[in-house]
Amino acid sequence: MEHCRAWIESAGCDWTFEEIRQGVERGCFFLFEHPEGCMVAEFIVSPRHKVMHVFIAGGSLGAMRALLPQVEAFGRKHGCDSGGATGRKGWARLLRQYGYRPASPAVEKEL
């Protein structure tokens, strides 16, 4: 997992590398690795849905394209009925060609 440190730290999320490592070790997060990138995902469960949610992705475009089918297959294997991702706007352009569509805008405010 250490070789993924730079990609995880540059992803611009609120998690530190150490927090992600611990989450993977506890089985809360799932790490998908490629020599040129990685994705970190989690399950989001509601009463009617189980979503395979990617919240960190970093590395080359080729790595992202190679990892996406693995992430989707893992989600299906574990009972997910949909997949999604949060991140920079550029990911929406990439994922559109794989059948993903914008789901809802997000907003936030520091309290």
Q: Give me the tens of pLDDT residue by residue for the chain, a chain 111 residues long.
A: 999 999 999 988 889 999 999 999 999 999 999 999 999 999 999 999 999 999 999 999 999 999 999 999 999 999 999 999 988 777 888 888 888 888 777 777 789
Best CA proximity match to 72, nearest among 64, 106, 89? 64
pLDDT at 72: 96
pLDDT at 36: 96
Q: 3-class DSSP state for residue 18?
A: helix
pLDDT at 6: 95
Best CA proximity match to 17, nearest among 26, 27, 6, 28? 6
pLDDT at 91: 80
Q: Supply the pTM of this predicted model.
A: 0.89
For 2-96, which CATH superfamily applies? Gcn5-related N-acetyltransferase (GNAT) (3.40.630.30)
Q: 3-class DSSP state for residue 50?
A: strand
The helix (H) or strand (E) run that includes residue 72 is helix 61-77
**Cα–Cα distance, 55 to 64 (Å, whole number):** 13
Per-domain residue ranges for the chain? 2-96
DSSP secondary structure letter of residue 4? G
Residues 41, 67 contacting (CB under 8 angstroms):
no
